[in-house]
Chain A
């Protein structure tokens, strides 16, 4: 991260602010995507984030903290979108196959996704940040503004619950 860009952004430069995000566009986009799970909402969250950053960057005291600060705001914007979002059911759900290689099934994703969705949002988010985005405990703690100990305990509780959810279904079928 370029500290001079942060300083420029603090002085009101919109271009500098956009540059700061675009320099690490993959990281920002993937973080938004981890929460929203689709492109439209991820872009909406990023747009909401940059407006808040622009309005509040003048009060950011330590420029070196821009990364964590902006990611915390992004996470909050994603959560806001998820709260507002209405569930729309799509008509066409059935995939079709007719040829070799056209098809890439996603059951494992669906399986884990639905298991994850049974966890509380607090546990879901730490597991995604840790395992999907490969964030360190410390980074997660800073972004979510919770102690590292809490991150650790949420991850281990989350994993245990996930195991229970998968294991609980073991009674069926056999």
Chain B
């Protein structure tokens, strides 16, 4: 219990560093000045809301009758993968064709969706007659709500015309639960102080949903350097193939955190081989939460004539706690260190304009993520990293040389390396049985 109290207190320390923003006083004055005006405008707003609801209601029912006008989504070829284009050609997916127009003239049309066991893809067109659809893209966000829950958005991409008036977007959402029928896509548009919300409700047509071809638990473990990577499940559906698993359990994570030996995974290079050929990768994610460190990796859909499926862990990139102190002298040249098997060369240590500079070289994928310099027993933060140089060696390795600048100078120098990121190659392979 004391451990948890300590963790809470440690987290609480950040609250002592939070400073109120300079505008706080002005906000308080403004709030007081506006408070009487606010009461008056309240009624107007509710009237406006009532009018808006009526208009939406009228339009809503009209637009519904135009839905299901066609089977194929037009204009999305450039953002669809090959697999999605094929599915689109076959008329898979559900066309919707419902729009919402914002006060500033911007309109959003939900053209259609594709749904299978892995995901729901949402295709929509944004039109901005002012020619600023690119700005709009970064100022909008959306949410998808069903009966009981909100479905998470995973990723998305868009493609716009040269005039910047039309943008076609494809966004990927968590697949809705099987009992969902009516969903609501809400768009939030914010430009400056203006914020507006637009809703497009639609009905899911489950007869258009595409299900899955493989859906099974994996229960496989790969051991790498004392860490167990657990592969939990594979779901192969017509649009994509998703593999999920866990890199570290929450308990191991908490224990390492307390010991100061955390591993923070950045990237896992996982390859999926179907009939001996690599399936193209679509995306991946690593997250830390209540289930510990979990990952998901997405690949393209599997070939139809699947005979053999293998999973290969090519490499693993992570940030490791290290706690390494290295004594330095001002005239040190080409001093070699090895941290967790990674070679780092201190090429040069020098003073200039009252600051201390340290030139280092390592392999390209090695980064000292947390490093301080102790100058005459006083710790100083890294100010900046400059002059990047990359050199390709004959064996293909790329060396990265850069200069770290620390403010201040002194005679006793100690480099305090607390965390380091590097990539390690493994090439471990396992079979995924197809029965």
Contact = CB atoms under 8 A, between A and B. Distances in A.
B80 interface: no
Contacts of B29: 14, 18
Contact of A30 (B9, B18, B266): B18
B8 A172 contact: no
Interface in B1-60: 1, 4-5, 7-12, 14-15, 18-21, 23-25, 27-32, 35, 38
A120 to B, nearest CB: 16
A174 to B, nearest CB: 6
A51 B230 contact: no
Interface in A96-114: 97-105, 107-112, 114
Nearest to A105: B264
A170 B249 contact: yes
A172 B249 contact: yes
A165 B252 contact: no
B292 interface: yes
Contact of B28 (A47, A104, A132, A174): A47
A104 B222 CA distance: 29
Given A47-B28, A50-B31, A51-B32, A173 B1 contact: no
A21 B153 CA distance: 40
B371 A14 contact: no
Contacts of A170: 249-251
A103 B369 contact: yes
B290 interface: yes
A11 interface: no
A169 B370 CA distance: 29
B253 interface: yes
Contacts of B253: 107, 111
**B30, B228, B249, B421: most-surrounded residue (chain A CB, <10 A):** B249
A90 interface: yes
A62 interface: no
A137 interface: no
A132 to B, nearest CB: 4
A22 B24 contact: yes
Contacts of A30: 15, 18
Given A51-B31, A99-B367, A100-B382, A174 B249 contact: yes
Contacts of A127: 8
A165 B8 CA distance: 14
Contacts of B288: 107, 110-111
A90 B138 CA distance: 9
Contacts of A47: 27-28, 30-31
Interface string A25-51: 110111001100001000100111011
B7 A22 contact: no
Given A97-B367, A162-B4, 12 more contacts: A21-B28, A47-B27, A51-B31, A88-B141, A101-B385, A105-B319, A108-B10, A115-B290, A169-B251, A170-B250, A172-B250, A173-B292
Interface of A: 14, 17-18, 21-22, 25-26, 28-30, 33-34, 39, 43, 46-48, 50-51, 54-55, 86-91, 97-105, 107-112, 114-115, 118, 127-128, 131-134, 159-160, 162-163, 165-167, 169-174
